[in-house]
């Protein structure tokens, strides 16, 4: 095995995972959402609301990227953005009813993705793989 290919392999896995997610979302008749929206939606599934700044820190993306992704989710009526009652500089995000309806779909897609990723892996191999990947520091 060529150990110099590690980033290429990780990149290939990432792209394959994104294609998988896109196919699954289409099968569930979800359009307009990209895999890059997943981190945002996940954070909103587990929190009642969140500020743009908190979201940026939690998913480790810069504010301009977050803004573009959130803008699309707002246009698609999955997320609402409201100015904070006490500080007008802060915007709070929350799911709309339509956004909350995505949760079971995202859970199903996530389960299917994990099943595909770990197919053929023994439980101890999964733990070993995760441990090794967690050790990568860039």
pLDDT, tens digit, for every residue of 87-126? Answer: 888 999 999 999 999 999 999 999 999 999 999 999 999 9
pTM for the structure as a whole:
0.85
Q: Coil, strand or helix: which one is 80?
A: strand
Rounded distance between C-alpha atoms, residue 122 and residue 9, angstroms: 21
Asked if pLDDT for residue 25 goes beyond 80, the answer is yes
The residues near 33 (Cβ < 8 Å, ≥ 6 apart) are 25, 41, 73, 76, 78, 102
Asked if pLDDT for residue 11 goes beyond 80, the answer is yes
The tens digit of pLDDT for each residue in 48-86 reads 899 999 999 999 999 899 999 999 999 999 999 998 888
Rounded to the nearest 10 degrees, how much is the dihedral formed by the CA atoms of 18, 20, 25, 28?
-170
| pLDDT score of 65 | 92
> What is the CATH class of 3-134?
mainly alpha
Q: Which of 51, 42, 40, 54 is nearest to 83 (CA)?
A: 51
96 neighbors 78 (Cβ within 8 angstroms): yes
- Spans of all domains in the chain: 3-134
Q: How far is CA 95 from CA 79, 84, 86, in A?
A: 4, 15, 20
């Amino acid at each position: 095995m060529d150990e110099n290919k590690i980033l290429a392999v990780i990149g290939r896995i990432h792209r394959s995972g994104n294609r998988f997610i896109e196919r699954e979302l289409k099968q569930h008749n979800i359009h307009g959402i990209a895999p890059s929206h997943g981190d945002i939606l996940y954070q909103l599934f587990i929190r009642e609301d969140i500020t743009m700044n908190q979201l940026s820190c939690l998913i480790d993306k810069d504010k301009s990227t977050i803004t573009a992704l959130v803008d699309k989710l707002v246009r698609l009526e999955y997320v609402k953005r409201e100015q904070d009652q006490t500080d007008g500089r802060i915007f709070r995000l929350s799911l709309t009813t339509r956004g909350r309806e995505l949760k079971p779909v995202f859970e199903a897609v996530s389960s299917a993705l994990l099943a595909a990723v770990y197919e053929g892996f023994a439980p101890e191999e999964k733990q070993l793989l995760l441990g090794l990947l967690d050790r990568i520091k860039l």
